[in-house]
Amino acid sequence: MKKLFYMFLTVIITQFSYGQKLVSMEDFEDNKESYVGKQITIWVSYENRWNGCQLRKCCEKFGNDWVLWKDFRWFGETGQVTINIPDKFFDNDGVLLPNVTDGGSLLATVYVYKARNHRTPPRPGSTYSEGGSTSNVISLELVSMKRNK
């Protein structure tokens, strides 16, 4: 009986902690400010067919610089989300990113911050140069990404 209780408790705790880590599009949209300064996990999809670019590659330019952001879809939703991807993720042929060649369901852990939302690679002797929106917005920066099992 005791063993069954502990197994049940373990299942409940596991389900509760996993559910707390994933943030839905609706919750994020309704409570963006409360996530600033925190890491959250979101469930997204990346479709090379509509993006026209393999996830592990920089393939768009903003001005004369390769962009370090990608557009994803909230999984199972129509909403789009832009995630800034630090340049280290593109080093070594993008080994830190999943090898998504056709499309996929991904778990992205992102850091939520308040600043301009698109970045291009740093120029020699400078920090990141920011493009996109000129007003302060809630932005996401990739911490880690893996395929959803």
| Whether pLDDT at 10 is above 70 | no
pLDDT in tens, 124-148: 544 444 444 445 688 899 999 998 8
Architecture of the structural domain at 22-147: Beta Barrel (2.40)
**Residue of 127 and 112 predicted with greater confidence:** 112
Check residue 42 and give its pLDDT.
Answer: 94
pLDDT in tens, 12-71: 444 444 344 799 888 998 998 999 999 999 999 888 766 678 888 888 777 777 888 888
Check residue 123 and give its pLDDT.
Answer: 53
Show me where the domains of the chain are located: 22-147
The set of residues, in sequence order, having a beta carbon less than 8 Å from that of 105 and lying 6+ positions away, is 43, 44, 45, 75, 147, 148
Check residue 16 and give its pLDDT.
Answer: 42
User: What's the Rg (C-alpha) of the chain?
Assistant: 18
pTM for the full model?
A: 0.73
